[in-house]
Chains A and B, each alone.
Chain A
Amino acid sequence: MPPLIDENMCTHCGACVDVCQSDVFSMRVEDTVPDATYADDCWHCGACVMECPVQAITLRIPLPMMVCYK
């Protein structure tokens, strides 16, 4: 689900771990790619996407959040 981190781009800086207001991420082992441990708590606000200094994060919006259009 929610935030996807590109492992090749991630510099392990921990910005996403720092800013996520839902505490989705954790860095279990120092200097590794953060883990979206509590993905169910994601608000899909995009703070991690905004704060990632190397644009390594994208959000995948779950299907039940589909926008209904004409």
Chain B
Amino acid sequence: MKEEIIQTDVLCVGGGIAGLMAAIRASEVGAKVIVADKANTVRSGSAGLGNDHFRCYIPEVHGPDMKPNLESLVRSQVGGPMRQGVFLRTWVEKSFDIVKLWESWGIPMRYEGRYEFAGHGLPGRILASLKYAGKDQKSVLTREARKRGVTVINRVMMFDLINHNGNLVALGIDTRNDRLLVFEAKSVVLGTGLCTRLYPSPTPGHMFNIAYSPNNTGDGRAMAYRAGAALANIELTMRWAGPKYFARCGKGTWIGVLRDPEGKPIGPFVTKPDRKLGDMAADIWHSAFEDFAKSGKGPVYMDCSGISEEDYQYMRHWLEHEGNASFLDYLEEEKIDLKERPVEFSTYEMHLSGGVYYNEKGETSVRGLYAAGDELFGGISGAATFGWIAGDSAGSYSRNAALPDAEEARSHIEAKKQEIRQMLGRARGPAWKEANTALQQIMQEYAGPIRSETLLNAGLTHVRRLKEKVRTTLVAKDRHDLARSLEVINLVDLAELLFLAALERKETRAGHVRVDYPFTNPLLDKLLLVRKGDEGPVMEWKALQR
């Protein structure tokens, strides 16, 4: 195996919105920066095909008081409070600066010359989602990064982070060629997005039919944990909703009314298509689609009938920017006219809303290690804002930090190389997809919609057995398979932590339904942190300050 040692001030792991913003800012403050992306930063990740709404506070639109905007942000946190008050205030205060930056780089942040807020709206409340044309946002950010001297290395999957006496050495494999990259970085910014593929997709046999990028497998979370950083609320999950069977994000972009089969709106917010509001019913009533099905009153439809031609074109325009171009093409091919035909919506699979704990400066609990974006769910605006902030912090930190020496971590590196050689060299054994399917089956049955102490304990045993099998028997027939296998290793590690944290959180909260503790305990309005200890995972409750 060819090994290449690369030195840098700042290594951005993942070239999504957070990673690219971090790279741009770190470079501006004088750091030498490398972005390593599993795919290609131009189209990778959940934001690769675009987005159309950016949560922000614009004083000229919202007025001088940012409190209503802050309140709306607090309410939008999945699973209740996940962030410190100072983090949320920083987000709201900084968001408009980021909007202006993006605009100056050529991402269209205005509609017909004005800042346009629409979607995810409640009647009488402020609108916090700025409509923007983000279809090509990542090629713009990649260009801006390169313009500032950032080196972008595509097709490298970062899979391990070694914290050797406080020095960070990061390992990545080339997903197409025989090459191991060893990064000696003064600081590292994690920005690998959400963690999907832990739970089965709604479509049997189609693991990649999910709303968020199926290539985001929690690599940053697993790496952070192994390097000693704390993960927060890893047991909390969320579920998105959208067109049934054709899993896509963007329900806030639809202009229609969610109705039952008789045509009755399921929510109290709108009775006809409303361009400004959309229909918040499913944002607030997360289990609506399932509740209707279970009670025999389903299915639930997104009904755009009655929409004006102008609003219809407006919706199509934004759906295209929200990464739904292939969905629109499909509707056209199948001659499904949304003006005439209500389409069924459903809830999709579970995925993690918790992740790497990072503060308002992008700092994790390990010195020199930063994180941003959906390493702890925050959507596009969170990724852009805290990517920028984390880049600023990492760049500044690197000025006085020493370069680590990979040779000090040599035994660890050799052990990893040996694991890789074994995966590539085994004659027989399970391939990554078999292992991933086995994991999804356990997650769904033992840590899925129903959780209890007995189920979680049994599931933990199963996951540990699977982990051992994955570590010792996985077979990768080529580089593509090797990257997928390393993803599964990360997923299994996170699954074990999820079971442990789910046992510890003895209450029901959002997607974490403990049938043996059926209510939300206000005393547990806290972060549950899990980190690596000498004897295994260690848990700690951390209070949240408003």
Contacts and interface: CB of A to CB of B under 8 A. Distances in A.
A47 interface: yes
Contacts of B154: 18
Contacts of B208: 22, 40-44
Contact of B342 (A38, A46, A69): A69
A65 B40 contact: no
A20 interface: yes
A68 interface: yes
A46 B320 CA distance: 11
A6 interface: no
Contact of A45 (B48, B331, B334, B483): B48
Given A18-B40, A22-B214, A22-B215, A50 B245 contact: no
B483 A23 contact: yes
A26 B43 CA distance: 17
Contact of A23 (B175, B323, B329): B175
Interface string A49-70: 1110000000101101111111
A68 B331 CA distance: 11
Given A21-B45, A69-B343, A46 B325 contact: yes
* Max chain A Cβ within 10 angstroms of own Cβ: one of B175, B244, B299: B244
A19 B343 contact: no
Contacts of B347: none
Contact of B214 (A43, A47, A64, A66): A43
Contacts of B203: 64-65
Nearest to A44: B326
Contact of A66 (B43, B205, B245, B483): B245
A22 B203 CA distance: 18
A37 interface: yes
Contact of B213 (A21, A64, A68): A21
Interface in B309-366: 323, 325-326, 329-331, 334, 336, 341-344
B312 to A, nearest CB: 16
B13 to A, nearest CB: 16
B403 interface: no
B344 A68 contact: yes
A23 B39 contact: yes
A70 B215 CA distance: 33
Nearest to A62: B206
A46 B8 CA distance: 34
Contact of A59 (B40, B214, B326): B326
A67 to B, nearest CB: 5
A65 B309 CA distance: 27
A34 to B, nearest CB: 13
Q: What are the nearest 9 A-B pairs in CB distance?
A: A46-B326, A21-B39, A68-B344, A47-B43, A69-B341, A19-B43, A69-B343, A70-B342, A21-B44
Interface of A: 18-23, 26, 37-38, 40-47, 49-51, 59, 61-62, 64-70
